[in-house]
Structure 1
């Protein structure tokens, strides 16, 4: 028979426990074991007044932000609604059924104030990385680095060319927050001073964003999120925001490597990256200054595509400071004989090595070597010896393994955009962008901890 109609009946007393209503296999239960926010009150002690009304617990705000980034809730207004309704979110945030949810404006007030002044989000991220190290998920032997474009929260219609934007009378005291942050980072290596090339357009609302067409499609305003990961278990050991150009991304890589060694005492034996990091000065910085093996393809413009011999077809003779052409003839940077051999000793500078005209004129390979010139010349970079060392690394037996591990960074970027929903930024300015990237990286590390260190299920 049909049962009675279900109607909600109010009871005088309820016996209810959040702990009993959150499933044992819920993601937040696994994440909660690795969230240690016990130090943030001491970290923020100097940024609160000793008088006045009691403030919202900063741990509650951080826990709510972690929920939002772990589950792809991009809006803080919607995050407050979800925490109000979801029992698991309330349990993770240490809220009872009758506790009030903070207003969404509290996040902006604290983010632009004490959170940013104290660099709290960086502190939370580094605490998570330290926990990953305690769990044995960071080997510290091999790192990988890469950058990914994230669309900025601006439109092309609200932009102008750099000359028109520079001509505007911008008063730092009345300018929007994103413009003030841009003016403060004009000398920063990963923002204003990253490159002298002027973009076609500058966004009025967020001038630090980069106008780019790097995706081989319609150009747009974007920032780059830079990840430095340990390749053992894809743990993000550092994250940094930069403009979307090669110079800024290389500068972010150096900054992250130095900061990781300073904060955690970890320096990798080798690092893997793509060709964007294969410029001569960066390879010198890695191999000579930092003593790190670079498994990075060399950024080389010496390869020809017209069918003639490229520079790689010429054999370098380091002992005699010369090149040997495919025809067996030698090429020197000078054919002059000095009475003092020291005057012709190899030095660290760029040189052009040329063959004799008599050798090239009657050569059978001239049509494939220098069909439009009398003699063939080969340019040797100032730090070509370091570039040759990098080429040896990329042709070694370990390189395929290093490049396979490098792809773990790209998987993290795919997870960032598809699962966490960070395909477009919500905050503006260098500081706001850094906050978003730091929180997203923290959420990814926590989810990785929950996956690799699962909870022990009770028997039965």
Structure 2
């Protein structure tokens, strides 16, 4: 029999509880157990006036932002609509059915003002990392580093070739916020000071973004999202926004390792990374700090003509010389200098040479230096650290480390596919930093929720 038509009827009284309508296995129930916002008001106290209208609760804004980044809601307008409609979102944000959702413009005003001035999002991220450490998810023994390109909110049509770009002509008073941030970061190692090479194009709307074709496809403007993770459970220990060039990405490694040591007293016994981080200065920096570099060496000493490479020459550290496969010596200096200005400086690149007469009479000259009178070998300042990395690469632990490095790549895949952060919505270095911090916070919270889900309660009949 066809049932009666369902019609909505007004009632004078309702007995309704959000707690009863949020599923026990909902992701937000597990995340809510690890969101600690008790220190936010104390952290922001100095950035609010003691007079005037009461402000929107900053804890509410942070909870709404966490909902947006945990569920890939990129637009703040849409976020307000979703929180207004979704009961689970209202429950997580501590909003009753009759409570009003803040306007989307409230986020922009707080983000550009007191949130950035107080570094609240950095504080929120580090609070989450501290919770991961307290739950035993971070040992700090093995860490991995990597960077991923995130497309900036800029396009080539609104850009200028490098020959026509002149930052000195920009008036900061009339420039947009992203342009002013670009001018403020010209001397920072993560942005303007990372390299003297200027990009082919500079965006008008976001000049700090980097024009790059690193993906071997069409070029685009981007920022680099740098992650330092603990490989035990893939927890993000630190995050940094930089230009999308190797120098800036490698330089951020030092910044994040120093910050992890200062904030959480974490000092890894090994650092895992790809070849881009295997430069001499980077390896030397790690070895000096007793961090084992599980990193492929960035080496261009190989030869394509089949002749002997530098790796086939034995290094004699005691006598400061190389020994060729035929047993001959290659020395940097063959006399003692009384004038210190003419002796070895210990800086830069050293060149080691064999005697011309020895090479000319050597039966293996065709395999060694067929087009030169004598063999020469250069040795970089940090060659000892490079050799340490080469020796580590021969161990079984190194093979394990290369498998663990994939955990960073998985986090970036999750960032783009699940959280939807394939393109930035905010502009400027501060905007990129804000988005990266919130996304990393959301990933750590989801990690905690996955490992420690909320206990299931039996619903009353």
Q: What TM-score does the superposition give when structure 1 sets the normalisation length?
A: 0.96
Q: Indicate how the Cα distance of structure 1 residues 187 and 167 shifts in structure 2: closer, same or farther if over 3 A, else same.
A: closer
Give 1:202-281 correspondences, 5 Å limit. Answer: 202-281=202-281
Q: Which residue of 1 aligns with 2:381?
A: 382
Shift of 1:127: 0.6
Matching of residue 311 in structure 1 with residue 310 in structure 2: yes
Give 1:48-447 correspondences, 5 Å limit. Answer: 48-166=48-166, 169-288=169-288, 290-336=289-335, 347=346, 350-447=349-446
In the alignment, the residues of structure 2 paired with residue 158 and residue 166 of structure 1 have an alpha-carbon distance, to the nearest angstrom, of: 15
In the alignment, the residues of structure 1 paired with residue 397 and residue 215 of structure 2 have an alpha-carbon distance, to the nearest angstrom, of: 30
Q: Indicate how the Cα distance of structure 1 residues 174 and 361 shifts in structure 2: closer, same or farther if over 3 A, else same.
A: same
What are the Cα deviations for residues 115-172 of structure 1, in whole angstroms up to 9, with x where unaligned? 1111111111011011101100010111111111000000001001233220673111
What are the Cα deviations for residues 209-234 of structure 1, in whole angstroms up to 9, with x where unaligned? 01111111111110000001111111
In the alignment, the residues of structure 1 paired with residue 337 and residue 435 of structure 2 have an alpha-carbon distance, to the nearest angstrom, of: 63
In the alignment, the residues of structure 1 paired with residue 90 and residue 48 of structure 2 have an alpha-carbon distance, to the nearest angstrom, of: 26
In the alignment, the residues of structure 2 paired with residue 149 and residue 372 of structure 1 have an alpha-carbon distance, to the nearest angstrom, of: 43
In the alignment, the residues of structure 2 paired with residue 228 and residue 210 of structure 1 have an alpha-carbon distance, to the nearest angstrom, of: 22
Q: Indicate how the Cα distance of structure 1 residues 414 and 327 shifts in structure 2: closer, same or farther if over 3 A, else same.
A: same
Matching of residue 33 in structure 1 with residue 8 in structure 2: no
Shift of 1:9: 1.8
In the alignment, the residues of structure 2 paired with residue 324 and residue 35 of structure 1 have an alpha-carbon distance, to the nearest angstrom, of: 61
Deviates more, 1:367-376 or 1:54-63: 367-376
Deviates more, 1:104-113 or 1:263-272: 263-272
Deviates more, 1:300-309 or 1:112-121: 300-309
Is residue 321–residue 346 contact of structure 1 (8 Å, CA) maintained in 2? Answer: no
In the alignment, the residues of structure 2 paired with residue 382 and residue 171 of structure 1 have an alpha-carbon distance, to the nearest angstrom, of: 43
Shift of 1:235: 0.5
Is residue 314–residue 323 contact of structure 2 (8 Å, CA) maintained in 1? Answer: yes
In the alignment, the residues of structure 2 paired with residue 435 and residue 423 of structure 1 have an alpha-carbon distance, to the nearest angstrom, of: 15
Q: Name the SS for the 2:34 alignment partner.
A: coil
In the alignment, the residues of structure 1 paired with residue 20 and residue 442 of structure 2 have an alpha-carbon distance, to the nearest angstrom, of: 25
In the alignment, the residues of structure 1 paired with residue 42 and residue 337 of structure 2 have an alpha-carbon distance, to the nearest angstrom, of: 71
Q: Name the SS for the 1:398 alignment partner.
A: helix
In the alignment, the residues of structure 2 paired with residue 116 and residue 453 of structure 1 have an alpha-carbon distance, to the nearest angstrom, of: 31
What are the Cα deviations for residues 320-339 of structure 1, in whole angstroms up to 9, with x where unaligned? 22212223322222344779
In the alignment, the residues of structure 2 paired with residue 233 and residue 12 of structure 1 have an alpha-carbon distance, to the nearest angstrom, of: 52
**Count of matched residue pairs:** 457
In the alignment, the residues of structure 1 paired with residue 346 and residue 106 of structure 2 have an alpha-carbon distance, to the nearest angstrom, of: 61
Unaligned runs of 5+ in 2: none
Shift of 1:380: 1.1
Unaligned runs of 5+ in 1: none
What are the Cα deviations for residues 389-443 of structure 1, in whole angstroms up to 9, with x where unaligned? 1211222221111221111111100000000000000000000110000000000
Shift of 1:91: 0.4
What are the Cα deviations for residues 165-212 of structure 1, in whole angstroms up to 9, with x where unaligned? 206731111100000001111111101111101111110100100111
Q: Indicate how the Cα distance of structure 1 residues 209 and 348 shifts in structure 2: closer, same or farther if over 3 A, else same.
A: closer
What are the Cα deviations for residues 340-399 of structure 1, in whole angstroms up to 9, with x where unaligned? 9xx988956532222223333343432222222222211111221121112112222211
RMSD over aligned CA atoms reads 1.9
What are the Cα deviations for residues 85-136 of structure 1, in whole angstroms up to 9, with x where unaligned? 1110000000111111111000000000111111111111011011101100
Is residue 313–residue 325 contact of structure 2 (8 Å, CA) maintained in 1? Answer: yes
In the alignment, the residues of structure 1 paired with residue 345 and residue 55 of structure 2 have an alpha-carbon distance, to the nearest angstrom, of: 68
Q: What TM-score does the superposition give when structure 2 sets the normalisation length?
A: 0.95
Q: Indicate how the Cα distance of structure 1 residues 14 and 338 shifts in structure 2: closer, same or farther if over 3 A, else same.
A: closer
Is residue 152–residue 221 contact of structure 1 (8 Å, CA) maintained in 2? Answer: yes
What are the Cα deviations for residues 52-91 of structure 1, in whole angstroms up to 9, with x where unaligned? 1111100000000000000000000000011111110000
In the alignment, the residues of structure 1 paired with residue 315 and residue 109 of structure 2 have an alpha-carbon distance, to the nearest angstrom, of: 62
Q: Which residue of 2 aligns with 1:455?
A: 454
In the alignment, the residues of structure 2 paired with residue 376 and residue 255 of structure 1 have an alpha-carbon distance, to the nearest angstrom, of: 40
